[in-house]
Amino acid sequence: MHDNVLALLSGDLSPSARIWTALAPALFAVAYFLGGLLLFCIRCAIKGIPRDAETLTRGKSMLVGFFLRHYFFWVIQPLWRLLLRSGLPANALSMLSGLLGVSSGVAVAAGRFALGGWLFLMAGVLDVMDGRVARTRKEANPAGAALDSVLDRYVDSAMLMGLAWYYRDTWVLLPALGALLGSSLVPYVRAKGEGLGVSVRDGAMQRLERVLFLGVGTALSPILEALFWPTEKHPMHWLAVVGLVFVAVLSNVTAVSRFRTLVKALAPKRPVQPRSGVALFGFNAAAGAIATAVDFAAVLAMVEWAGLSPVLATVVGCVLGGVVNYSINRVITFRSHGAVAPQLARYTLVSGSSALLNAGGVALLTLHPQLAYTLGWWLVRGVIYFAWNLPLQRDYVFNDTSPDALLEQEPHAA
């Protein structure tokens, strides 16, 4: 018995013990929640869905819809009532959630994924409870809300830092850092929006989804490792890796989506574009593809048929491709009627700066030889296109309503 306790505390477990330490809490949770789901469905068929008023104020999510949220808050009513009758202050629940969450990060950093995952899930459940306890007792105040919000960031960061430490010598470090970035930006953009009077709560990866995917994936991952890789001293915990990558991608997608919504809501209203955003992107991308094809064909013809040097042919090809790209965008994509010479000057400035940004970005990524240069090239190309080329061509080069363009159209005083 003594040896078993020491093995449990140290993590030096046999494959079967590793399975049961992860599976035992999961079996209890699955039995409770599946039984609760059955009763909830019966209750909904008889009396309708018991709607949780606070859930309706939250943002929409395609991963965990309102039905599942109403069910969750209905099925944890026993725990909710127990905490309410215990008399524990809401701030104490927040602190306990924070302590459990930070402990989960320490556990996963040491390789104790089952322990860390369940601690993280327990911290998430308590985080749901603290604010409800405060509001039910009419004790809610800004200080408690600030404490809860800051502790949530510590909990998320601790868990992801623990995962990053465990995976520090593998490629999984990158999605761990990406998840840390996205998980910080999602609530920040929402808070910034609320401070500016704009509500941005929607998104696929909100905190409930982050807790579920990270917690469940981490808690259950030792089962697969013990079944398929029982002799690994430093197992990959592939179920946790899948959850981590999923959170990394969707949390950043949610953050960018909220950021875009916020900027769009705050930006001054512009005249209606002659084309939709999707059409602009499609025509602009097509113009770039056609120009690249013309550039390549011209270089090939000048080198192979005309006998010009590749360097001279490349320069001529770039100029020819730029003229084709400018012409298609002016006539078809943006339907611009501004003066050609100033537009060409602006187009040259944007294209030249784009070339420098692309070259600089690729040069920076080549400092990391573990990243394939082809992947780095496409990554930089995509980022510069969406962050620099397309917005500037739309709002600066071909925007006939911009101040510069309007000045070009006004007659000069004699």
CATH number at residue 97: 1.20.120.1760
pLDDT reading at 352 higher than 90? no
Q: Looking at the structure, do residues 39 and 178 belong to the same domain, yes or no?
A: yes
- Using CB atoms within 10 A of its CB, is residue 286 exposed (0-12), middle (13-18) or buried (19+)? middle
Q: Looking at the structure, do residues 243 and 303 belong to the same domain, yes or no?
A: no
194 or 166: which carries more pLDDT confidence?
Answer: 166
Establish if 66 belongs to a structural domain: no
Q: Looking at the structure, do residues 237 and 386 belong to the same domain, yes or no?
A: no
pLDDT reading at 322 higher than 70? yes
pLDDT reading at 311 higher than 80? no
pLDDT reading at 160 higher than 70? yes
Establish if 61 belongs to a structural domain: no
Q: Looking at the structure, do residues 224 and 282 belong to the same domain, yes or no?
A: no
**Which one of 314, 335, 356 terminates a domain?**
335
Residue 84: the pLDDT is 78
Establish if 155 belongs to a structural domain: yes
Q: Looking at the structure, do residues 175 and 295 belong to the same domain, yes or no?
A: no
Range of the domain at 282: 276-335
Three-class secondary structure of residue 233 per DSSP: coil
**Which one of 266, 290, 322 terminates a domain?**
266
CA dihedral sign, ordered 310, 311, 312, 315: positive
Residue range 167-210, pLDDT digits in tens? 999 999 999 999 999 999 999 998 898 888 888 877 777 888 88
Establish if 409 belongs to a structural domain: no
Establish if 55 belongs to a structural domain: no
- Using CB atoms within 10 A of its CB, is residue 335 exposed (0-12), middle (13-18) or buried (19+)? middle
What length is written for the chain? Answer: 414
Q: Point out the least confidently predicted range of 1-5, 100-104, 228-232, 354-358.
A: 1-5
Distance CA 361, CA 205 (A): 29
Q: With bands split at pLDDT 50, 70 and 90, how would you rate the model's confidence at 402?
A: low
Q: Looking at the structure, do residues 386 and 288 belong to the same domain, yes or no?
A: no
Establish if 169 belongs to a structural domain: yes
Q: Looking at the structure, do residues 248 and 363 belong to the same domain, yes or no?
A: no
Does the pTM surpass 0.75? The reply is: no
Establish if 149 belongs to a structural domain: yes
**Which one of 266, 296, 325 terminates a domain?**
266
pLDDT reading at 88 higher than 60? yes
Q: Looking at the structure, do residues 257 and 282 belong to the same domain, yes or no?
A: no
**Token pair of 248, please?**
């990394």
Whole-number average pLDDT of the chain: 81
Q: Looking at the structure, do residues 292 and 222 belong to the same domain, yes or no?
A: no
Three-class secondary structure of residue 110 per DSSP: coil
Q: Looking at the structure, do residues 224 and 372 belong to the same domain, yes or no?
A: no
Category of 410 on φ-ψ map: left (φ > 0), alpha (ψ -120 to 50) or beta: beta
Q: With bands split at pLDDT 50, 70 and 90, how would you rate the model's confidence at 5?
A: very low
**Token pair of 266, please?**
């705050």
pLDDT reading at 243 higher than 90? yes
Q: Looking at the structure, do residues 160 and 254 belong to the same domain, yes or no?
A: yes
Distance CA 254, CA 412 (A): 48
Three-class secondary structure of residue 2 per DSSP: helix
Distance CA 325, CA 328 (A): 5
Residue 412: the pLDDT is 44
pLDDT reading at 151 higher than 70? yes
Residue range 207-238, pLDDT digits in tens? 888 888 999 899 888 888 777 777 777 888 99
Category of 270 on φ-ψ map: left (φ > 0), alpha (ψ -120 to 50) or beta: beta
Q: Looking at the structure, do residues 96 and 187 belong to the same domain, yes or no?
A: yes
Q: From the CB of residue 362, how many other CB atoms can be counted at a distance below 10 Å?
A: 15
Establish if 412 belongs to a structural domain: no
User: How many domains does the structure of the chain reveal?
Assistant: 3
